[in-house]
Structure 1
């Protein structure tokens, strides 16, 4: 049986991912190799584990029994790794992390680069996306989330806050009277971000708050796209400070209403209560929080 331990682990990954292709992509091998591994395991056991259709896979009764035992075995193995990692100065393992795409060039990514230099035997698989990604369903150990958190059974820790800036393209701003109050922006064109409210909240140096609801001709689902279209001089928008600073430095963007700012966005690490790599996850989260503070 010892020769088929890897086969069983791959079988569990196929079930978790829902297809040979998704499991192969996650493991980093060809789908044909994953399919052959499952066939070899079925031949060894003398039974069918998965019903294969053109649309999906389904477990047989024997497959459900084996999957339950294999997941127990994998959890025990992971627990063993965690206990060893907890007692060593040189942690070993891999973490799959989903991160907002607009943080790909930010202090957060710099800190993660520092982490892998500090711990050379830890591998990070980073998935950058501005869309909301389900952690458990997509096989992630940890998610970095920007904004307020929904109530859930997940563990979380605040890592810091992301400053933002109100900007527009240089040429777009130059063609209009210089605004002195948020209400002056009501008739401006806005580049809308799908994951954000249509209303922009601004806070003055004195703590006053105003909301602006400008007209929008274009809507995007990526913060990097906000940055690009602002440079094309099609309207005003709110960007994270790291992107705003890049645009100002390149003389393509200009800050609007310097005495007013959008509120910062809270940044959190979120992970399952029973993480597969608990000690490694906690080590990573503590490192991020300490460095970003």
Structure 2
């Protein structure tokens, strides 16, 4: 049985990565060796753990049960390693992290890079996507969520609040009468981020709150695309400040109704209640909270 503990670890990595090739790359093994290891494990157990196709791997019902036990084994092993690491003031292990794609160039990405430099024995695997990732099913150790957190089944820590700015191009603004109130924007063209509501709430310096609905016939599924089409003079959009700050400074975009505030976004670190790499996850969370 001891000889198959390594097989279990490789099987868990294959499931986490979703392919033999990606798992082999992270493990520094040949893909054929990784595939054969899982096949040997299936032969030893007498069951099929994974359905294989040219496009993806799918856990069988037996595989899903066995994966749970493999994760528990790895969690306990890593907990022991982390405990000794803490005593030796070293941190070793791998963390899988998901982040919204629009954070590719951000203070969070910069802080993660600094973390990697400070802890050179920690391996980081980053997944950038604008779609919400299922942390448990995809083997994610920590996810960065942006917005207003509602999921109470996970552990979380707020890192900071970030401003959103309403912007448009000079060319588009030249075709309109200069607005003085959010209601002036009702008939303007809006570019919508399709995973959020079409309702926009503004607050004036005196505390007046006004909610309007975007007049939109154009929507996109990424913040970078949102920024791109605003610069193509398609209309208004509101984006995180770090995405548009340079464009505003360079004059490519204009901050519309700058005296009216949009609701700030919360930036959160989210991780499973029973993280298999708890010490490393908490180490990264604390680092981000202190450096973002």
TM-score by length of 2: 0.88
Contact 1:85 1:280 survives alignment (8 Å):
no
Find the counterpart in structure 1 of residue 9 from structure 2: 9
Q: 2 CA distance for matches of 1:180 and 1:68? A: 58
Secondary structure, counterpart of 1:87 in structure 2:
helix
In structure 1, runs of 5+ residues without a counterpart are: none
Number of residues of Structure 1 aligned to a counterpart in Structure 2: 286
Find the counterpart in structure 2 of residue 164 from structure 1: 164
Q: 2 CA distance for matches of 1:174 and 1:82? A: 60
Give the deviation of 1:30 after TM superposition.
6.1
Contact 1:145 1:268 survives alignment (8 Å):
yes
CA spacing shift, 1:67–1:154, aligned 2, 3 Å? closer
CA spacing shift, 1:71–1:143, aligned 2, 3 Å? closer
Contact 2:116 2:124 survives alignment (8 Å):
yes
CA spacing shift, 1:187–1:49, aligned 2, 3 Å? closer
Contact 1:188 1:235 survives alignment (8 Å):
yes
- Map of 1:23-34 to 2, 5 A cutoff? 23-28=20-25, 32-34=32-34
Give the deviation of 1:5 after TM superposition.
3.1
CA spacing shift, 1:146–1:26, aligned 2, 3 Å? farther
2:206 corresponds to 1:194: no
2:152 corresponds to 1:152: yes
Find the counterpart in structure 1 of residue 73 from structure 2: 73
Q: 2 CA distance for matches of 1:240 and 1:46? A: 51
The one of 13, 19, 22 aligned to 2:19 = 22
The one of 58, 61, 84 aligned to 2:60 = 58
CA spacing shift, 1:66–1:211, aligned 2, 3 Å? closer
Superposed CA offset, 1:30-62 (max 9, x none): 65443211223345x3834437465845255xx
Q: 2 CA distance for matches of 1:269 and 1:52? A: 33
CA spacing shift, 1:190–1:86, aligned 2, 3 Å? same
2:179 corresponds to 1:182: no
Find the counterpart in structure 2 of residue 109 from structure 1: 109
Superposed CA offset, 1:237-284 (max 9, x none): 101111121221332211101111211101111101110111111111
What do you get for the CA RMSD once the two structures are aligned?
Answer: 2.4
Give the deviation of 1:23 after TM superposition.
4.8
Find the counterpart in structure 2 of residue 250 from structure 1: 250
Q: 1 CA distance for matches of 2:35 and 2:52? A: 13
Q: 1 CA distance for matches of 2:205 and 2:65? A: 63
Q: 2 CA distance for matches of 1:35 and 1:266? A: 42
Q: 2 CA distance for matches of 1:70 and 1:101? A: 31
Q: 1 CA distance for matches of 2:129 and 2:212? A: 27
Moved more, 50-59 or 118-127: 50-59
Find the counterpart in structure 1 of residue 284 from structure 2: 284
TM-score by length of 1: 0.88
Contact 2:93 2:280 survives alignment (8 Å):
yes
Contact 1:164 1:238 survives alignment (8 Å):
yes
Secondary structure, counterpart of 2:19 in structure 1:
helix
Give the deviation of 1:70 after TM superposition.
4.0
